[in-house]
Amino acid sequence: MQESVARLVGAEVLPLIQRCFEEHRFPQELIPKLASLGLLGSSLSGYGCAGLNAICYGLICQELERGDSGIRSFVSVQSSLCMYPIWAFGSEEQKNRYLPPMARGELIGCFGLTEPHGGSDPANMKTHAKKRGGDWVLNGSKMWITNGSLADLAVVWAMTPEGIRGFLIETGTPGFSAPEIEHKFSLRASVTSALFLDNVVVPEERVLPGVRGLKGPLSCLTQARYGIAWGVIGAAQACLRQLLDYTATRTLFGRPLAANQTIQVRLADMARRITTAQLLALQLGRLKDAGVMHPAHVSLAKWNNCRMALDVARDCRDMLGGSGISAEYVPIRHMLNLESVITYEGTETIHQLTIGRELTGLNAF
């Protein structure tokens, strides 16, 4: 699986991703190719999904993010944040209606949890849904929604008198809008949107019946954070690979940069950190496949591996000298993307406090 995705990234992603980043454009032409390899909902079973194990899914994320965080984010949102809640909490009618076309890439999803004022406190949710006869009426807004302007289906979490519930909103529904967020300097090859809900009517059969409360959206984030812990390794690998080539051919003071002790120490330290992150992700995948992975395990891996990847990208950018600020070289693109990845789906501080709570038994949130 890793080799198949690596070939796809080499043949289809790398030739166009720099231009897409510069043009602030997500390469939608890649969606059928991602679907043809079974990468959408790959860890789910049935309903046209591949049913791969957790380590396979992790390696998929690693190879995709070696291309660009925006490509991995697309697959992660489609798979872990949209298909997973339908698979885990949906009715049979909902699963049969939505999952097969989502696996084929014919129906794109987005995940509406974060709100403009909420950030790390999703329980402070203002988007609300009220019952009206056999329907629900939703009002509110969501922010920083990957795939929002592309999506055919939005999995939106809203406060109801019964607690937080998940709603499946087809994006052509009156009152629903998803304007794209422009002027980003990170994840430029990804679609990021706001969602606005103005008296959006959702029938009861489009409400996820299997979960209530924050457990629903947080369980989705656990799935997605697992993929992030693997994905960022690919970004770091791409940066190190380019630095090995660059320092071997760049001559300074009569010899290649790679012949300098300082350069070798920095490259060796990158290899140490990448390898450590891979082993952490591998053990996490084994725990997930065994059914004993805890959300705190995911917090530790997301925190460690995102910090590793961002530090490696920054160091590679520095070692390129003036060339480091050019998109002709990958570290600046990965570095800018990773500034978002280390923030979304739980900031570094949130994951640190999660581990602190596990260690002390005291909640510092």
Here the CATH number for the domain that contains residue 346 is: 1.20.140.10
Final residue in a domain of this structure, among 206, 234, 254: 206
C-alpha distance from residue 113 to each of 47, 193, 235 (Å):
25, 12, 26
Instruction: List the CATH number of the domain containing 127.
Output: 2.40.110.10
Q: How many domains does the chain have?
A: 3
Cβ-Cβ contacts under 8 Å for 61 (sequence gap 6 or more): 72, 75, 76, 227, 228, 230, 231, 234
What's this model's pTM, rounded to 2 decimal places? 0.96
Which positions are catalytic?
Answer: 345
Tokens of 256: 């290649």
* 29 belongs to a structural domain: yes
> What's phi and psi for 123, nearest 5 deg?
-65, -20
* 353 belongs to a structural domain: yes
Least Cα distance to 84 among 94, 70, 69, 72 occurs for 94
Note the pLDDT of residue 122.
Answer: 86
pLDDT in tens, 103-131: 999 999 999 999 988 788 888 899 999 99
177 vs 158: CA distance, rounded Å: 16
Q: Domain of 51?
A: 2-103
What separation, in Å, do the N-terminal and C-terminal C-alpha atoms of the chain show? 40
47/72 same-domain check: yes
Contact 139, 115 (CB under 8 A): no
Q: What is the pLDDT along the chain (365 residues), one digit of tens a residue?
A: 999 999 999 999 999 999 999 999 999 999 999 999 999 999 999 999 999 999 999 999 999 999 999 999 999 999 999 999 999 999 999 999 999 999 999 999 999 999 988 788 888 899 999 999 999 999 999 999 999 999 999 999 999 999 999 999 999 999 999 999 999 999 999 999 999 999 999 999 999 999 999 999 999 999 999 999 999 999 999 999 999 999 999 999 999 999 999 999 999 999 999 999 999 999 999 999 999 999 999 999 999 999 999 999 999 999 999 999 999 999 999 999 999 999 999 999 999 999 999 999 999 98
Sign of the C-alpha dihedral computed for residues 195, 199, 201 and 204 taken in this order: positive
Strands 153-160 and 109-112: parallel
Tokens of 224: 């997605």
Note the pLDDT of residue 176.
Answer: 98
* 365 belongs to a structural domain: no
Note the pLDDT of residue 13.
Answer: 98
Question: Residue 170: which H helix or E strand, with range?
Answer: strand 163-170
